[in-house]
Amino acid sequence: MPDRVLLPGDIICTHTGGLVPWLIRRLSRSEWSHVALYIGGGEMVEALGAGVVRRSVQAYEGRRRSRYCMAWRPDCPEEVKARACQNAVEAIGYKYDYSAIWGIWLAIWQYRINRPNKKQESSRFFCSELVAVAFHQAGHDLFNMKSVNLHNAAPQDCIMGEGARVAGWPAT
C-alpha cells in the first residue's frame, strides 16, 4: 500500500490464514488477527513472535496466507498520531508478550474481564497491546470499554472508536 494512501498513525489490520490467526479471530470474535502501526516512509511497527520490530508494509504484499489487509485511521490530532508512532518506535526491541496472550484468551472466555495482575508498564507487547499503549501514552484511547484494558486488547478493540476506514487491499 503506497504512502499516498497510508498516513503515519494509521492502524494496519490483517486477516491471515493459519491456526494461530484463526484462534485469535475466533476467541476475540474479530475479523482481524493482527494489527500494526504505520509510521510513515513505507514502514510499520508491529509485535511479532520475534518481538517489537520495524518492517516494510510490503511484508504484507504477496503474503501467501494473507487474505486481506485494511488500514484504519484513528480520529485524533496529527500530533497525537506522531507521538503514538514515536512511542511504538521506542518499543522496538521489546520482547513479545506470550504470557498475556493466554491471559487474554482466558479473559475473553470470561466475558472480557480485566486482568488486574498485568503490569501497566511493560517491556513485552503483543500486537494490539503495542498499538493501544502507543496511542494511550500519546493521550488518546482507541476504545472506551470498561471491560477491556490496554493490556488485554484484541485486534478488533483497536479499531472500535471513531475513525475512517482508509482502504482495503487484497494480499496477492
3-class DSSP assignment, residue 51: strand
> What pLDDT is stored for residue 116 in this prediction?
47
| Residue 148 belongs to some domain of the structure | yes
pTM: 0.81
Chain CA centroid to CA 126, Å: 8
**CATH number of the domain that residue 146 is part of:** 3.90.1720.10
Domain count, the chain: 1
| Residue 1 belongs to some domain of the structure | no
> What pLDDT is stored for residue 138 in this prediction?
93
**How far is 139 from 148, CA to CA, in rounded Å?**
17
> What pLDDT is stored for residue 134 in this prediction?
92
* Residue 10 CA: distances (Å) to CA of 34, 91, 143: 14, 17, 15
| Residue 57 belongs to some domain of the structure | yes
> What pLDDT is stored for residue 128 in this prediction?
86
Mean pLDDT by 10 residues, the chain (172 residues): 75 84 80 90 93 89 64 88 96 87 60 47 81 90 66 76 60 46
What's the domain range around 123? 11-170
> What pLDDT is stored for residue 32 in this prediction?
84
